[in-house]
Amino acid sequence: MLKVGIIGAGRIGKVHITSISTRVKDASIKTVADPFMNDETAQWAKGMGVEHVTKDYKEIIDDPEIDAVLICSSTDTHSPISVEAIKAGKHVFCEKPIDHDIDKIQAVIDALKGTNLKYMVGFNRRFDHNFEAVQAAVAAGKIGRPEIIKITSRDPEPPSPEYVKVSGGMFLDMTIHDFDMVRFLAGCDAEEVYVQAANLVDPAIGEAGDVDTAVITLKMENGAIAVIDNCRKAVYGYDQRAEVFGSEGMVAVTNDSASSAVISNAQGVTGEKPLFFFLERYMDAYGKEVTEFINAIVNDTDTPLGVEDGLKPVLMGLAAKKSVKEHRPVKISEIMG
């Protein structure tokens, strides 16, 4: 039985606590740390079978009984805590992104060198039943050689301008999931990025220096062309679709909804909207994700999303920002130099 510590008990931290508590057989949660830990959260955690709560994450780092750490704290702490945990000999699951700064991700890569520790980045969508099915079809050769990869990813509600300011921008905050998805579905890396972006949803987002709507074209290493379309606000809910077109066919997935109920009346034939947002859509994926992490430790196998998988989408995001700024296609290799 692995002992796990969880750093950060916000929205996503609670998701992982719930998953480990109810779905993961081989792990139990010893400690949950959060600087804003309060009675309510402590009570809830106790009900979930957590042994101990604290405001100080160092209690987790320093606890020799704890085998693995889940880093669910704010983005700026992901990389330094990753390094600390690795140095303390712990396996690490880190929420995305590891960092917006390549050097800081490099520090994590360096810390891992020579250890046998497992490291996993939380790109949860890879564990969604729909995207798994697309990837499986592509990998099984059912559509031949991929030629065009399309991802639609639109949020139901824009973030606050305050959040936008510290988010690293849409490409590193939101599109980063789609950059990971493109790599997952194509089975290779991107070579070049071109972005056409705009500020259409909320002027305050533009004033905060960001865009909210974009179409991103990517040239993939296998020759396929990928295109992502993003918007920070879709009034009908969380729009999460993908399509891979290839020499022998196409595989596509659409949104999930709460039920298949369709009402036909004088106004038309109406089904339900997509599930509202990521907590509704990806709850099961979060559970599978963290189970994969624990399994990789127990079985001593690679995690499905290593530290390099955390780096690559950040490079793509930085290339996307540069493409907008310089209004031209940007090669990934320009970012790494």
Q: Is 263 in the site for a copy of itself (CB under 8 A)?
A: yes
The answer to whether 69 and 52 have CB atoms below 8 angstroms apart is no
Our finding on whether 257 is near a copy of itself (CB under 8 A) is yes
The distance of closest approach from Cβ of residue 335 to a copy of itself in the complex, given in angstroms and rounded to an integer, is 18
State how far the Cα of 173 lies from the Cα of 164, in Å rounded to an integer: 9
CA gap 283, 280 in Å, rounded = 6
The token pair at 31 is 């400690």
Residues of this chain, 213-252, that bind a copy of itself according to CB under 8 A: 213-215, 217-219, 223-227, 229, 231, 233-236, 239, 245, 247-252
Q: Which stretch binds a copy of itself (CB under 8 A): 52-60, 136-144, 160-168, 295-303?
A: 136-144
- Give the closest residue to 93 by CA, choosing from 312, 281, 286, 282: 286
Query: What angle, rounded to 10 degrees, do the helices at 175-186 and 129-139 form?
Result: 30
Looking at beta carbons only, is 84 or 155 nearer to a copy of itself? Answer: 155
Q: Is 201 in the site for a copy of itself (CB under 8 A)?
A: yes
For a copy of itself, the closer of residues 78 and 321 by Cβ is 321
**Distance between alpha carbon 199 and the CA centroid of its chain, in Å?**
23
Minimum Å gap between C-beta 313 and a copy of itself is: 19
| Residue 170 to residue 320: CA distance in whole angstroms | 10
d(Cα 57, Cα 35) in Å, to the nearest integer?
Answer: 8
Q: Is 47 in the site for a copy of itself (CB under 8 A)?
A: yes
Task: Tell me if 188 contacts a copy of itself by CB under 8 A.
Answer: no
CB of 205 to a copy of itself, least distance (A): 13
Q: How far is CA 46 from the centre of its chain?
A: 27
Interaction of residue 283 with a copy of itself, rule CB under 8 A: no
List the one residue from 36, 39, 260, 337 that touches a copy of itself (CB under 8 A): 260
